[in-house]
Amino acid sequence: MSSMQRDLARTMIQARQSAAQREHLADRASREKRDARRVERSERRAVRTDERAARRAARRAAREAALGAGWWPRWTRRTTAPVVPALATAAGPTPDTVASELDDRLRRLADRIVEHGTEVERIALETVADATRWTVPGAAAALVDWDGTEIARLRAFGVLHGSVGRLGPEDQAWLLDRLRDPSAAEPGTWVA
């Protein structure tokens, strides 16, 4: 290759390199310009969004203020139930207290039955039979069989007196209440 050809090749390569370098610089400048426009647009959007949010908040506050003077508060005042303080419940007797008092009452009932017979304590015996009819149904039926013998009723009372301890606390409390107040044990007022 001649020197002229080499010079020509070198010149062409340098021209291509300088053209590529100018193109590269132009691309970088346009990219930077584009990025700057994007940043500017996003900042404008953020400002617009903040302004819109502020306008919306102002409209909402104005609407709430208008509703505050309008029908909504009056309607809620009319429909809101008054606050009623909760009632405190009185603590009842403990199951142990109920069981011991019930045992004491049944012992006294047994003493009265021994002295006067089952016929005199009819209401109390019907109450005991009613309370124990699900746990010992045969003895409960025999206790209130007034056509049966006195011995059968006494034996049934003995069985039921022993089975009262197996009743639940609610049933024991119910039976104790009925034995305390014989008028509550009338057949028309029986609950269980």
Average pLDDT over residues 6-25: 91
For 56, residues 6+ apart whose C-beta sits below 8 A from its C-beta are none
Alpha helices in 69-168 (DSSP H): 71-79, 95-116, 122-132, 137-143, 150-163
In which residue are the tokens 């044990």 written? 185
Structure tokens at 177: 């209440």
- 118 membership: H or E segment, kind and range: none
Question: Which of 15-24, 96-105, 175-184 is least confident?
Answer: 175-184
In the chain, where are the structural domains located?
3-78, 95-189
What sign results for the dihedral spanned by CA atoms 156, 157, 161, 162?
negative
pTM: 0.48
Q: What share of the chain is helix, strand, coil (3-state, %, to 5)?
A: 80, 0, 20
Mind listing the pLDDT tens digit for each residue in 97-120? 888 898 999 999 889 988 988 888
Burial of 135 (0-12, 13-18, 19+ CB in 10 A): middle
56-81, pLDDT tens digit by residue? 988 888 877 766 655 555 555 555 56
Decide: 123 and 129 in contact? Cβ < 8 Å.
Answer: no
Alpha-carbon distances, residue 25 vs 15, 31, 37 (angstroms): 15, 10, 18
